Amino acid sequence: MKRTGAKRPMHEPKASVGVAKRLSAAIVAALLVASVSVAGSLADTTQQGTLRVKFGGHLSPTRLPRTGLAPVAVALSGDITTTDHSTPPQLSTITMAINRHGRLNPTGLPRCHYHQIQPASTGEAHAACADALVGTGSFRANVALPDQSPFPSDGKVLAFNGVLHGHPVIYAHIYGTVPVPISQLITFRIHRIEGTYRVVLSAQLPQVAAEWGYVSGLSLTLKRTYRYKGQPRSYLSAGCPAPQGINVANYPFARASFGFDDGRTLHSRLTRTCKVR
């Protein structure tokens, strides 16, 4: 949790540090949720006890080649709520796996380094790493302050291509200005597994006190096309390998797990439809 130098007030009351921590915790949780939810027109909702997680989103375009790959964008959205309106537990881990017919390839894409975007405002982060930008989004959170009702807060999310210890990662930069300017960076490790879902993004959230706040909603769209060695490329690409004679198909789009600090883990799978172009 770091504060942005550029937006720091000159005479800041000490109490705002606590506020900053609370907001940061909420932002972190929001981002994690955003990264995991990948979906289509109908959201997938899972519930354990009173805790409910709703995922939504879509892949675009839906019309894709039967053989080979085409550039795609993945729009994600998510909501964490409780059925009894109590404060949800803090999100601690998030894992998302994408169908094997989708590909995430950062080859030739400029990389952003941690120190370039943290701490930074959204504008500063964008200016520092515009070439490495792979997605944008937003978050909504409720920040809990002592002796006050939780109040809503929102901000922007920027996703950058990066490398950590030689492995590809996505640095998700989150920035909010209410009640005080706060920036946070979450690292999503990218690795591959065998099976229906092949590309896995996972992140661990810092443990924070539950009373600091909770996420209420978020959205993130991953999309980036660029040129490398004179050839057009896309950070994300996908195909629609339906059998001959079939031009529209259901497919398991993504699988996600959300781990919360009270020990609960909610799993979700998203099914979407593609059309052969």
62 binds another protein (CB under 8 A): no
* Amino acid at residue number 140: R
Q: Can you tell me which of 7, 16, 21, 45 binds another protein, judged by CB under 8 A?
A: 45
Q: Can you tell me which of 151, 248, 262, 277 binds another protein, judged by CB under 8 A?
A: 248
Which one, 200 or 242, has the nearer CB to another protein?
242
Q: How far is the CB of 237 from another protein (least distance, A)?
A: 22
Q: Can you tell me which of 108, 246, 265, 277 binds another protein, judged by CB under 8 A?
A: 246
Q: How far is the CB of 96 from another protein (least distance, A)?
A: 17
Q: Can you tell me which of 73, 190, 210, 249 binds another protein, judged by CB under 8 A?
A: 249
Which one, 68 or 243, has the nearer CB to another protein?
243
48 binds another protein (CB under 8 A): yes
242 binds another protein (CB under 8 A): yes
42 binds another protein (CB under 8 A): yes
Please give the angle made by the CA atoms of 126, 128 and 132, to the nearest 5 degrees: 70
145 binds another protein (CB under 8 A): no
CA atoms within 13 A on the CB side of 169: 20
* 67: DSSP letter: S
Q: Give the span between the Cα atoms of 17 and 23, in whole angstroms.
A: 10
* 65: DSSP letter: -
Determine contact, residues 237/155, Cβ cutoff 8 Å: no
Q: How far is the CB of 242 from another protein (least distance, A)?
A: 7
Which one, 44 or 124, has the nearer CB to another protein?
44
Q: Give the span between the Cα atoms of 259 and 265, in whole angstroms.
A: 4
Q: Alpha helices, DSSP H only, in the chain?
A: 15-36, 114-117, 122-129
Tokens of 106: 């950062």
Q: How far is the CB of 205 from another protein (least distance, A)?
A: 24
Q: How far is the CB of 83 from another protein (least distance, A)?
A: 7
Q: Can you tell me which of 60, 225, 250, 265 binds another protein, judged by CB under 8 A?
A: 250
- What residues between 73 and 132 interact with another protein by CB under 8 A? 83
Please count the residues of this chain forming the interface with another protein, following the rule CB under 8 A.
23
Q: Which residue, chain included where needed, has tokens 């991953």?
A: 222
Which one, 1 or 249, has the nearer CB to another protein?
249
Within the chain, strands assigned E span 44-48, 51-60, 63-64, 70-71, 73-82, 91-99, 102-104, 133-143, 151-164, 167-176, 182-192, 197-204, 213-222, 225-228, 231-234, 236-238, 248-260, 265-276
Which residues, in sequence order, are CB contacts of 192 under 8 Å at separation 6+? 198, 199, 200
Using CB under 8 A, list all residues that contact another protein: 41-48, 52, 83, 242-243, 245-252, 269, 271, 273
